[in-house]
Structure 1
Amino acid sequence: MIIPHLKNLINTYRPVLIFVGLFFSTYIAMSLLYGAYLNYYASATGTADPITNLVAIQSTALINSFGYDAQILPDTSAPHMKLIINDHYTANIIEGCNALSIIILFISFILAFAQGFKKTFLFLLAGTSLIYAVNLVRICILAIALYKYPNQSDFLHGVVFPGIIYGMVFLLWVLWIRVIKKQSK
C-alpha cells in the first residue's frame, strides 16, 4: 500500500524532484571542482589563485579610477592579497571575494530550469558577466567605505555588501523564471 502511494507522490512532484536533483548535483559537482582548484593553488603555490588575483588587480584599478592610490600586495602567510589604499592597509582580498561561489550557485539554479541550449547559455553568459562586474564594483565601494569608515566594517562587510550581490542573484533568478513563464505561455 505504501509503494503505490509513494509512486503517486513521485509522479505528482516529478518537476520539483527533477529541479532539486539537477540543482544539487550541479552545485555539488561545481563546488567540488572549485574546491580542488583552490586546494591546488593553496598547496602548490601558497598564494591566492589566479582568479582571485585577477579580481584584486581589477578592483585596485577601479579604486584608482576614483582618485585613490590603491595597490595590492601578495600575503606570504596566506593565500590572499592585501589591499592598501593611500598607504593604509584596508582589507584582504580572499577567495570569497572573487564571486565564483556565487556564480556556481547562480549557474546551478539556471541549469536546473534550463530552457534550450542557446537561451540558457546566453542567460548564463550575461548573468555571470553581470555578477562578476557588480562584484568588482562592490569590492571597490566596500574597500573605499572600509578605508573611510573602518569602525563600520562588520556592518558593511557582513550585511550591506553581501546583500547587494545576493540580492542581484535573486533578481536574476526571478528574471529567468519570468523568461521561462513567457515562453511556456
Structure 2
Amino acid sequence: MLKDFKPVLGILLRFIIIYLVLLFAYQLYLNNGKDSGLDPFSRVIANQVASIQNVLGYPTQLYDDVKNEQVWFYVKDRYETRMVEGCNAVSVIILFVSFVFAFYKGAKTFIFVGVGLVLLYIMNLLRIVGLNIVMSGYEQYGKMFHDFIFPAVIYGTVVLLWLVWIKFFALQHENY
C-alpha cells in the first residue's frame, strides 16, 4: 500500500526539505544584519518603491528607523506606511520555489523559477506602491487593501504560477 503513495511522499519530502533549507538560509541572512536596521534586500525594495512613486507623481522619501528595523515611506508630506522585513515577499518566494522544485523537471525548472521570481518581485513592488497610493489618498480603505486585497494579489500570483507549472510543465510527459 505504501508503494502507491511513494511518488506523492517523494514530492512532499522534497518540498519540506527545500522549504526548510531555504527558510534556514533566509533566517541566517536576517540574523547576520540585525544591528543595522532593515535588511538590505528589503531596503532595495523600499528604494525601488520610492523611485516608482516619485515617477508616478507621489513624492516619496524614506526614513530609517534602525532601532525598530523598518523604513518609513514619507509620501506627499505624510508618513503613510512602513516597510518591515515581512513586506519583501521572501516568505512567499520561498513557498513558490519549494513547490516548483518539489516537482523538479530538469533545466526548465530553473527557467520557470527564474521567470516566476521576476514576476513575483514586480508584483510585490506594485503591491507596496499600490498600498502607499491607497494610504495617501484613500486612507479609509487602507486596512482592507493591506489585509485582504494586496495579499490576495501576491498569493494569487503564486497560486497561478503553481497551476501553470503543474498543468503545462510538471505533469507533461517528456517525449524521447
Normalised to the residue count of structure 1, the TM-score between the two structures is 0.90
- 2:155 maps to 1:131: no
1:27 equivalent among 19, 30, 37 = 19
- Whichever residue aligns with residue 177 of structure 1, its letter is I
Q: Which residue of 2 aligns with 1:175?
A: 164
- RMSD across aligned positions (CA): 1.3
Q: Which runs of 5+ in 2 are unaligned?
A: none
Q: In the alignment, is the contact (CA less than 8 A) between 2:38 and 2:66 conserved in 1?
A: no
Equivalent residue runs for 1:10-25 within 5 Å: 10-25=2-17
**1:109, distance to aligned residue in structure 2 (A):** 0.1
| Higher Rg of the two aligned structures | 1
- Offset from partner CA, 1:101-124 (integer Å, 9 cap, x none): 1110000000000101x1011001
- 2:44 maps to 1:57: no
Equivalent residue runs for 1:28-107 within 5 Å: 28-42=20-34, 44-45=35-36, 47-107=37-97
Q: Is the partner of 2:171 in helix, strand or coil?
A: helix
Q: Which residue of 1 aligns with 2:142?
A: 153
Q: Percent identity between the aligned chains?
A: 35
Task: Tell me which stretches of 4 or more aligned residues in structure 1 moved more than 6 Å.
Answer: none
Number of matched residues?
Answer: 174
Equivalent residue runs for 1:103-118 within 5 Å: 103-116=93-106, 118=107
Q: Which residue of 2 aligns with 1:3?
A: none
Q: In the alignment, is the contact (CA less than 8 A) between 2:88 and 2:124 conserved in 1?
A: yes
- Offset from partner CA, 1:52-97 (integer Å, 9 cap, x none): 0000000011111111111111113311111110110000111111
